[in-house]
Amino acid sequence: MRLQSLLVIMIGMALAGASIYASRELLQVRPATASIDGSTPKLVSVVVAGQDIAFGTPIEARKLTTIQWPVDAVPPGTFSDFSTLIPKNGEEPRRAKRAMAQGELVLSGKVSEFGEKVTIVQTLGKNTRAMAIKVNAQTAVGGFVTPGDAVDVVLTQGRGVQLRAVTILQNIRIIGVDQQADVLNDATNIAKTVTVEVTPEQGQKLALAQKAGTLSLSLRTLDDVVDKPIESIRLSDIIRDRSPTLEGPRRTIKVNRAIGNSERVEVSDSD
């Protein structure tokens, strides 16, 4: 009898333990796994700049790296490996036809052919020209003008009271400062010559303006601004008998005061 009771107790304990284990397994939170179902985009290898690459410099393996890119988003002109970018058998290197920042896709339009000469002309837009302007520290914004900046060109001309200034060109792109054309180089230096990108008509204006007086550059903001014609200003417009003031018109206050049987009017000025 005792053996039977002990057996019943052991079976009950075993069933209770199994129930507890089963409940814990059912209640346990399991991480969800996303089903691929073919929705993961296919990736391909593309070549990007592993470091900043300056305009005109050779394309070298140490300057490049590869990353994975969604195949449906790959733009035309990419390279899948270094084989068509790096010279072989004593070939002259390819060069950067424009500056590339680290991580930027290397595209066929940004690099020359093997041994091809790279000049500033290759940075020009359709039907534009490169033209140089003589400058100094005062006329070139103290050396803060760098390739890639946009400027207005101001002509100062005349003598004495006939001296005047007029903005002859607006939103002109700087493509070179002295012999430097790298837009990634933001170092300031006092330039002697600035090269700008202009249309043929703008180039004619610049040629005449350089003979007529002094040209100064006005560095523009990065914001989009709608350019409007700017009137010229003469020296007589800024030389006045009185300096400009922010004060408005003065008010006159009249006060009537009764004194005995008579009346007196007092007048005073007030701001």
Each residue's pLDDT tens digit, 200-229: 999 999 999 999 999 988 888 877 777 888
Q: Are 200 and 184 in contact (CB under 8 A)?
A: no
pLDDT-based confidence at residue 249 (cuts at 50, 70, 90): low
> Do 145 and 54 belong together in one domain?
no
Mean pLDDT within 233-262: 64
**Residue 158 pLDDT:** 87
> Do 96 and 57 belong together in one domain?
yes
**Residue 34 pLDDT:** 45
> Do 225 and 148 belong together in one domain?
yes
| Cα–Cα distance for residue pair 106/60, rounded to 1 Å | 12
| Cα–Cα distance for residue pair 42/212, rounded to 1 Å | 63
Of 246 and 71, the one with more pLDDT:
71
Would you say residue 268 has pLDDT above 80?
no
Residue 221 lies in a domain: yes
Any idea what the CATH number is for the domain that residue 114 is in? 3.90.1210.10
Token pair recorded at residue 237: 């417009």
Would you say residue 1 has pLDDT above 60?
no
Token pair recorded at residue 190: 């006092």
Let me know how long the chain is: 271
Torsion angles phi and psi, residue 27, rounded to 5: -85, -15
Rg (CA), the chain: 39
> Do 112 and 135 belong together in one domain?
no
At CA 78, angle to CA 75 and CA 81, rounded to 5? Answer: 145
| Cα–Cα distance for residue pair 86/67, rounded to 1 Å | 18
Residue 130 lies in a domain: yes
* Most confident region among 83-92, 114-123, 216-225 by mean pLDDT: 83-92
> Do 133 and 108 belong together in one domain?
no
Domain limit, last residue, from 77, 96, 118: 118
Residue 134 lies in a domain: yes
Mean pLDDT within 143-168: 87
**Residue 176 pLDDT:** 84
> Do 114 and 157 belong together in one domain?
no
Lowest average pLDDT, out of 94-98, 144-148, 153-157, 197-201, goes to 144-148
Would you say residue 44 has pLDDT above 90?
yes
**Residue 4 pLDDT:** 62
**Residue 24 pLDDT:** 58
Number of helices followed by number of strands (H, E) in the chain: 3, 10
Q: Which residues contact 186 (CB under 8 A, 6 or more apart)?
A: 146
Q: Are 87 and 111 in contact (CB under 8 A)?
A: no
Say how far residue 197 (Cα) sits from the centre of its chain: 18
Give the structural domain span for 90: 41-118
> Do 231 and 154 belong together in one domain?
yes
Mean pLDDT within 33-44: 66
Residue 93 lies in a domain: yes
Residue 3 lies in a domain: no
Count of the separate structural domains present in the chain? 2
Lowest average pLDDT, out of 95-104, 118-127, 191-200, goes to 118-127
> Do 131 and 234 belong together in one domain?
yes
pLDDT-based confidence at residue 63 (cuts at 50, 70, 90): very high
pLDDT-based confidence at residue 15 (cuts at 50, 70, 90): low
DSSP letter at 62?
Answer: G
Domain limit, last residue, from 83, 101, 118: 118
| Cα–Cα distance for residue pair 33/30, rounded to 1 Å | 9
DSSP letter at 8?
Answer: H
Would you say residue 30 has pLDDT above 70?
no
Residue 6 lies in a domain: no
Q: Which residues contact 169 (CB under 8 A, 6 or more apart)?
A: 152, 153, 198, 202, 205, 206
Q: Are 68 and 86 in contact (CB under 8 A)?
A: no
> Do 192 and 213 belong together in one domain?
yes
Would you say residue 259 has pLDDT above 90?
no
| Cα–Cα distance for residue pair 161/236, rounded to 1 Å | 6
Domain limit, last residue, from 118, 146, 164: 118
> Do 215 and 112 belong together in one domain?
no
Paired strand residues for 169 = 153
Task: Write down the mean pLDDT value for the chain.
Answer: 78
Token pair recorded at residue 253: 């206050």
What are the distances in angstroms from CA 87 to CA 59, 82, 156, 264?
9, 10, 51, 102
**Residue 255 pLDDT:** 56
Residue 97 lies in a domain: yes
Percent helix, strand, coil in the chain, to 5, is 25, 30, 45
